[in-house]
Amino acid sequence: MITSLDELQPKTLAALNAQLDALTAPVAAEDRADVREALAAHFADHLDASASPADVSAVAATLGEAEAEEPGRFGVPLDLTPPTGEKMARAWWNPRDERLLVPRVFGLGWTLNFGAVAVKLGLIEPDAEDEPFESTPAPAFRTAALVPAALSAAVVAHYVVRGPGLPDRLPNQMDAAGRGVDPIPKAAAAALDIAIAAVPTAWAGGLVASGKGGPRTAGAIAAATTAASISAWLTVWRTAATDGKARPWAGPLVLAAAWLPAGAVLFGLARAGRTAEQARDLGGKK
């Protein structure tokens, strides 16, 4: 035990300050100084003047994580950390979390937790997998990756087959009544739709082809499926909207429908993981 942190050796003091910074980082700004002071006192109680940086780590390991301040604006969650496949999978498929709406993977607001939806619909148990997608076998990932690949292929096929018969300019925006406005050259529209579908699909396909599984690949496939289905709907809408008719339902429908295939893909991957766990534990008895 020491009475002042100044009694520590310089290296140990530096390690302690780094620990205190890390431990208090998630704490609300107004409480941070108080929490830091309390933690410093705790360390002083458990360290002596000859303590090493390793001793600091050992004491830190006995502390729980500080309760994080939920970042956000006016009660709306905000996440500005880069979105990754793993992060997407954990947000979109978390059956152990009862909340249907969870903080978005990136930005301000909420997103749908398909895992909670599936549990509420009685389609899967909250704990069907020990860790979502960790037991999902490679063939299931390969099959799931076919969904965005098929949607991407449909977008390409649409422009190849129907493209020559389409007007030279296609709408690029939707007004409040769901009418197509802001026309752009057909080639630009085609390139945009194909890129929206193909780029994330290639990313997910690359992960699957390299034999990677787990939540990272599940999230990548789900993201690619969402992007590819948005692209497919966009392609259909662009073509239909050349007639200039109002379709007020088009925007909301596209947004809602674009998410469903991703939910179905995540559900399929989770079921495959559940089946693999059961086969592991029950063997031939299943």
- Regarding 8 and contact with other proteins (CB under 8 A), the answer is no
Residue nearer to other proteins on the CB measure, 95 or 178: 95
User: Binding string to other proteins for residues 65 to 104, with x set by CB under 8 A, is what?
Assistant: ------------------------------xxxxx-----
Residue nearer to other proteins on the CB measure, 168 or 281: 281
- Applying CB under 8 A, among 37, 48, 125, 182 the residue interacting with other proteins is 125
Classify 128 as helix, strand or coil: coil
- Stretch of 31-39, 103-111, 126-134, 231-239 lying at the interface with other proteins (CB under 8 A): 126-134
Residue of 274, 286, 281, 278 lying closest to 131 (CA atoms): 274
How wide is the angle at C-alpha 280 spanned by C-alphas 276 and 281, nearest 5°? 120
Residue of 238, 171, 168, 232 lying closest to 198 (CA atoms): 232
In sequence order, what DSSP letters do the residues of 147-186 get, joined into one string? HHHHHHHHHHHHHHHTGGGS-SEEEEEE-TTS-EEEEEEH
- Regarding 61 and contact with other proteins (CB under 8 A), the answer is no
- Regarding 270 and contact with other proteins (CB under 8 A), the answer is no
Residue nearer to other proteins on the CB measure, 82 or 283: 283
Smallest distance from other proteins to CB 96, Å: 4
Residue nearer to other proteins on the CB measure, 6 or 281: 281
Element (H, E) at 102: strand 101-103
Query: What are the helix and strand counts (H, E) for the chain?
Result: 9, 7
**Quick check: 58 and 16 in contact, CB under 8 A?**
no
- Regarding 278 and contact with other proteins (CB under 8 A), the answer is yes
Element (H, E) at 108: strand 107-108
- Applying CB under 8 A, among 26, 126, 163, 268 the residue interacting with other proteins is 126
Q: Hey, what are 164's tokens?
A: 């020559």
- Applying CB under 8 A, among 37, 45, 70, 127 the residue interacting with other proteins is 127
Residue nearer to other proteins on the CB measure, 245 or 280: 280
Residue of 128, 98, 99 lying closest to 111 (CA atoms): 99
- Applying CB under 8 A, among 131, 160, 246, 256 the residue interacting with other proteins is 131
Q: Which parts of this chain interact with other proteins (CB under 8 A)?
A: 95-99, 125-128, 130-131, 277-278, 280-282, 285-286
